[in-house]
Amino acid sequence: MQAMANIAISLFAGRSYCAPFFGVCDYTLGACQTNAYVRVVRMPDKKYRFRPISFVCCKLQNLSHWQCKYRARYNGIKEDMTVNDMMAEIRDANLSYLMLAQQMVRSDKATAIFRLGLSKDIADLIGGMSTTQILKLAGSNMMLARFRFDDSAILGMLTKNNKDRALAQSHAAILMAGQPIEEIA
């Protein structure tokens, strides 16, 4: 009760435009199972906004409002923002991948074919693409590049810690270089 009174006092001392009002901050619900509070504030444009009271969060569980929010995100709470963010990241990765691949193919095709693990036809295609084409291709929400190790047993063996790092790297390179054609073509 004492804490609530303190909050109310500090709110009045703050710069809210009308009388504050306590509600439940929905970001924190899924994240930490503890309610935090928001206040409703009337902004100069006469619209009502929810403002988090971060110190309540802090007092209750030693977290800031924003920490709660990000926890909620990473705990798998369905939030449209996250999915959109992920899509944007994928498009970004696609674009950087395509641009890098094109640069590599144009400077030295044979080396690029090995480094990227492509077939020659695909390398020719990527090398000949225009910027518009690259942008169009990168704009898809699906990842364009794929993982080079398909075999979980091999990947597990390579990531085990019982080997020298340099040795594990050469082993991985030997395996990748020796991949059968049908896997990469």
Partner 1 sequence: MAKKSVVTEAQEIQLAIELINLGARLQLLETETSLSRERLLKLYKELKGVSPPKGMLPFSTDWFITWQPNIHSSLFIDIHKYLVEHAGISGIEAIMKAYKLYLEQVPPVVDDEPVLSLTRAWTLVRFFDSKMLTTAPCSKCRGHFVVHSFDLHDDYVCGLCHMPSRAGKTKKSKDAAAASVEAVIA
Residue 24 pairs in a beta bridge with 37
Q: Which of residues 43-82 bind partner 1 (CB under 8 A)?
A: none
Instruction: For the chain, count helices (H), then strands (E).
Output: 11, 3
Rule CB under 8 A: is residue 154 a binding residue for partner 1? yes
User: Which helix (H) or strand (E) covers residue 122, if one does?
Assistant: helix 120-127
* Residue located via tokens 């409703």: 40
With contacts defined by CB under 8 A, name the span among 33-41, 65-73, 86-94, 156-164 that binds partner 1: 156-164
Question: Segment near partner 1 (CB under 8 A), from 59-67, 72-80, 81-89, 162-170?
Answer: 162-170
Report how many residues bind partner 1 under the rule CB under 8 A: 28
Per-residue binder mask for partner 1 (CB under 8 A), 111-140, x = binder: x-xxx--xxx--x-----------------
Whether 78 and 30 have beta carbons less than 8 Å apart is answered as no
Burial 104-115 (b: 16+ CB within 10 A, else e): bbeeeeeebbee
By CB under 8 A, name the binding residues for partner 1: 108-111, 113-115, 118-120, 123, 151, 154, 157, 163-164, 166-167, 169-171, 173-175, 177-178, 181, 184
